[in-house]
Amino acid sequence: MINRVVMEKMIYTIVFEKNNPGKLNALLSGIKTIDGERLYAVVFDEISSVVSDMNRVDLITDKSHAIAFAGVIEILEQHFALLPMRYGSMMESDLSIQKMLEKNYPEFRQNLLKVENRSEFGLKIYCDAKKLKKELGIKSEKETVQRPVSEIKSSVFREYVDKKLKEHRIEELLLSYVDSIIAEFTEVLARLNAVNKFKKMTTETNIIDAVFLLEKDKKGELVQAVEDLQCKHPGLNFTLTGPWPPYNFVDMTIK
C-alpha cells in the first residue's frame, strides 16, 4: 500500500504589509525554514500570512524546531508589524488560509495596528528568598506590638498558631514589597507609554515576571529605567530581555 504524502501549510505569522508591498517576498527568499522548505506569503488585502509546506507527520515539537520557528518570526519582526502564530498552526491549503484571513481581517488589522512599531520586552526580577524573608521577619517582629506574656496562654497549639502567623505576616510583607516595586516601575512604564503585564511570585526567587509592549525607539529609555531601579534595589537581580515579537499582546481567537 502506498501512503500518499499530504502536504499542508504551516503558518508562522500574520504580517502587516501595507507600506512595503514586494519587500516581504524578497525577504522570505533569504530565510531558512525548519525543514528547508521555501517560505512564501498568502496575501489578503494589506495582510499576509507567511507559510511553508509541511507534512503533518514530520511536525516534531522539540527545542530546535521551536527555535527555528521563532527565528523566522524574529527576522520578520525587524521589518514588519506582525502577529506571531503558535508553533504547529497548520491549514490544508493556500485557499483555506486566504479564507481565514478574509474572515478574520478586522481583528487581525486591529491587533496589527496595536503592535505596529512596537516590540515586546521581558523583565524578570529575582531575589534571595531566604535572605529577604529573614529581613522581612525581623521587620515584622519590630513592628508587632507584643502582648504581655501573662495574657497569652502558652500551649503547643498556641505556639503552632504563632509560628503560622509569623510565616503569614512575612508572606504579606513580601507581597506588599513586590507590589511597591511594581508600582514604582509601572509609573516609569506609563511615562514610556508602554502596555504591561505583571506576574508576581512565579517561583520562590522570581518575584516579578513582567512583559511590556513598547515603541521600538524607546528601548534605550527602558534599559535606563531598569538600571535606575537596580540602583534603588541592590538586593535584587534584574534581567531585561528583548526586543521580542509581541507574543503576549495579541488578543484574538481565529474564527
Partner 1 sequence: MCENKILCNTGTVDLSIYDISEEADKPEHIEESKLKLTPDNADSGLAKLVLTLVELIRKLVEKQAMRRVDGGSLTDDEIERLGETLMKLEMKMEELKKHFNFTDRDLNINLGPLGDLM
- The answer to whether 7 touches 55, Cβ cutoff 8 Å, is yes
CA triplet 80, 216, 237: central angle to 5 degrees? Answer: 130
With H, G, I as helix, E, B as strand and everything else as coil, classify residue 186.
helix
Q: Which stretch binds partner 1 (CB under 8 A): 27-35, 97-105, 161-169, 174-182?
A: 161-169
Short-list 72, 68, 30, CA closest to 51: 72
The yes or no reply on residue 202 touching partner 1 (CB under 8 A) is yes
| Comparison of 71 and 107: residue with beta carbon closer to partner 1 | 71
- The answer to whether 16 touches 46, Cβ cutoff 8 Å, is yes
| Contact flags string 97-136 toward partner 1, x per CB under 8 A | ------------------------x--x-xxxx-x-----
Contacts for 170-176: CB closer than 8 Å, 24+ residues apart = 170/133, 170/136, 170/137, 170/140, 173/136, 173/139, 173/140, 174/132, 174/133, 174/136, 174/201, 174/207, 175/200, 175/201
**Which residue from 60, 138, 175, 223 is in contact with partner 1, where contact means CB under 8 A?**
223
Closest distance to partner 1 from the beta carbon of 125 (Å)? 9
CA dist 62 and 56 (Å) reads 15
| Comparison of 64 and 155: residue with beta carbon closer to partner 1 | 155
| Comparison of 45 and 172: residue with beta carbon closer to partner 1 | 172
Q: Which stretch binds partner 1 (CB under 8 A): 3-11, 38-46, 94-102, 198-206?
A: 198-206
Count other Cβ atoms within 10 Å, centred on residue 125: 23
β-pair partners for 33: none
**Which residue from 169, 184, 221, 254 is in contact with partner 1, where contact means CB under 8 A?**
169
Count the residues in the chain.
255
**Which residue from 26, 234, 253, 255 is in contact with partner 1, where contact means CB under 8 A?**
234
Q: Tell me which residues in 134-153 interact with partner 1 (CB under 8 A).
A: 152-153
The site for partner 1 (CB under 8 A) is made up of 121, 124, 126-129, 131, 152-153, 155-161, 164-165, 168-169, 199, 202-206, 209, 219, 222-223, 226-227, 230, 234-242, 244
